Structure 1
Amino acid sequence: MATTPPAYVRFADGVEQIQPNEDQLSDETVASMARVARLMFEKNRHAIRDAHAKSHGILRGELHVYSNLPEHLAQGMFKEAKTYPIIIRLSTSPGAIEPDSQPAVKGFALKIIGVEGKKFLPEEADALTQDFLMVNDTIIPTGDVKSYHDMQLRIEKLAHGPEIVQTAINKVGVLADKALELLEDVGGPKQEVKMVVQAHPNNHILGETYTTLGAIRYGDYVAKISVAPLSENLQALAGKEMDVSEPGAYRDMVVDFFRTQGAEYELRAQLCTDLKTM
């Protein structure tokens, strides 16, 4: 019995809902990130990113676009069968260089080289690259501009706090009452913080599935992008908990794995079918 194919939401004016004071909140968020980055530079005397500061591996490879994609997937740079050079950066989420023993969200940044066409950012309109930034999760707890803005300002306050508070947050993986109790114990003010950052298990970094937390325009449609292990040697690592007691454990995993073998991931698109539930 044939099934009716899903009706994919087409991108159009009104699909993207601009939130109250979005431009102002975005500017304030970026400014806060810059201040934290400056603070981390002063602390480390080395420039690092405001998030995903620690690299665990830089990989070089190729992206092969399938020749038999259906119409709804054959969009934009995926419209024709083609091979692109790519660079991958593996990371973990903290904006400081922390030991790998502290649970954190893992990142997979994919840079595709040789992609023609106008880009979204005015300063990069003619760039020949396309970036997809993904993590080993599917949603972000602060999924709107105001919530993310408030979270970033709290992160900035804690970045100025005692080292014991920052260490406790990283170890527990939760920014909530525990950290506030520590602030109060050392003489700081107790404030309500409605923010939870889930801890992630110390699974093998190469066996994870990574997803863009935000939806993007995908040609005529709206989608989230993900990469998942495809080759058997990667699939064997999925969900495999590792010993990360050494400060550079994830880097060592990546080096040891690719010293003797290659691997394949599959790039996937999940198209939106319902704006209210997705």
Structure 2
Amino acid sequence: MKSIITDIKNKVNLKNFYFDVYDKSDLQKINRNNPLPHKCTIDFKDFYYYNADLSGLMWLQELDRKLKYNDFVDFYRKGFEEGLKHLKEKEGIKKKDFYNTNKKEELKQILYSFLYVRDFLPNYRGLNDLVNKIPLIWTEKIIYEQGYYNGLLHSILVLCDELCFVIKKKVVSENPKTEKKLTIKQIALKLAYEGINVTDENKNEIIKKYGHNSGDKLMQEFNNVFKTSRRTTDPNKTLKILQNKIELFESIIELLEVEFKQKAIDECKTLKTHLAKY
């Protein structure tokens, strides 16, 4: 078997081993055919892998024993255990919060952001992206982080299962013909309902997908609508301005997936109640 290169203490380079030995091997096929997540139990405590290759590599035994896999497994499962606590301890999100109808939709948008948008680590977009890409340079820190974010992902998926709801990714085409016609105001409002947060890091990337160039303008418009209170408040200027705001909401409702549509409809109705004052 090709040797795994141990560069320095507690750092392992798996690149050559992965591509020369493991990739397309029978072991990889077996691991990938085993439904995710892969469950492991040590000291009566369960932990899970959401990447089949990471699971497979973690348990490989190297002939020359240079790589102490048990050490990495320990760091992974310790990270996993801490990641399970993230929602409650780092985000202040508890299961009981989802039974509050005033908070439920907002919290679902936050979870959507965790799964598909937030950059928990550089060069990764959401937890799904993070766990789907396997690191081939292993250190204690890297494997601990893998365990941590697999633990966070597991806690979110368990929560969704217990609450019987599904958070699906909204796919944005690289060259969306209809979306290119949207104004920046429409794009910002649509993103707000989809739970996609606009930041300094992603504003330019997002706006280019819609055929515009100004990430700063997108972020400005997004900041005007990302909170429910800002979306449903009467502009308190003229009837025309309020009507324009209502028309903006109506224009994006049909662009939203079912899971986001009702919230937009309800908030549009709230806006229309302000018409009586004019």
Shared fold, TM over 0.5:
no
Structure whose residues are more often strand by fraction = 1
TM-score range, shorter chain: under 0.3
Higher RCO (CA < 8 A, seq sep 6+): 1
